[in-house]
Amino acid sequence: MSPVQQVLASLATGAVEIHDLTAPLSAETPTLVLPEPFSNLIDFSIDEVSAYNETGPFWKHHNIHTGEHIGTHIDAPIHWISGREGKDVSQLDPARLVGPAVVLDFSAESAADPDFLIDVEHLVAWQEENGDFPTNAWLLFRTGWDKFGHDKQAFLNLDENGSHTPGFTAECAKWIAEELEISGIGVETVGIDAGNAAVLNPPFPMHYHLLGADKYGITSLKNLDKLPTHGALIVVAPLPIVGGTGAPTRVLAMVQK
C-alpha cells in the first residue's frame, strides 16, 4: 500500500479525523479596525443574484464582497513592506501549504493577561522539552481567543488605548523568521501581531519579520484545542488571487484518532 493509499484508508476507517480550523465567514465575522488616518477593508457581505426564480430558474447564486484579510485568511509576503518584492497569494508554494502542525498552548497566560506576548524563551523551552520544530511546520499558537469569535467587541478587545490581544515580542518575531525553517504561523486572533503591536520596534514585528523572510501567517483559527501538541497534518488552502496580498482560507487538520 502506497503512502497516499495509507492516508486514504485511515480516513475511510476513521483512524484519522479531519478537524476544521476555519471560522465561518459572514457579515458578522469580527474584522480588524485600524484607527484614522488608516483605511480599513470592507467587511464581508453577500448579495443574492438569483434563487430558482425568473433571473435563474434552476439555480441560486450570489455575489460576494470582501477584503482580502477578513476572517480566517492568509498573509502573503507582499502584504508587508518588508516582503514587497516577494510572492503574492497565487505564487505561494503548495508544498509549504501542507505540513506538520505544532500547537503551542498559551491559553492560560493569555487568560491572565490579554496583552501577553510570547517571547523567544517560551519557544526555546518548548523545544528543550519536545524537540526541534519540524522543517516545513506550521506553528499554531493557542491562546483561547477563538471563544470570542461570535462577539466582535470581546474579540477585538478595544478601549481608548487600542486593542488588547496576545501576540509576540519583536525579538520573538525576528527569531521565528530567521532561526526556524518553518512555513508559517497561525493564531486565533484577528491578526498575526498583538493588538498593541503598533508600539513595538519595528511596529507589527511579526508582519515585518515573518513576511519579509518569505514565511506565511494565518489568522482567526479555531478548534486548536482539538489538536495534539504535535503529530497533526495541516492543509492551508487560500484562494490563489493573482496579485493578492492575502485571501480567505480554509484550514484543515488531519489527526490520528
Active-site residues, by number, are: 79
Residue 66's identity, in one-letter code, is T
Q: How many Å apart are CA 110 and CA 116, to the nearest integer? A: 6
Return the HEC string of 197-246. Answer: HHHCCCCCHHHHHHHHCCCEEECCECCHHHCCCEEEEEEEEECCCCCCCE
Q: How many Å apart are CA 234 and CA 221, to the nearest integer? A: 12
The SS3 call for residue 196 is coil
Cβ contacts of 13 within 8 Å, gap of 6 or more = none
Q: What is the dihedral of CA 172, 177, 180, 184, to 10 degrees?
A: 100
Backbone angles phi, psi at 229, to 5 degrees: -55, -40
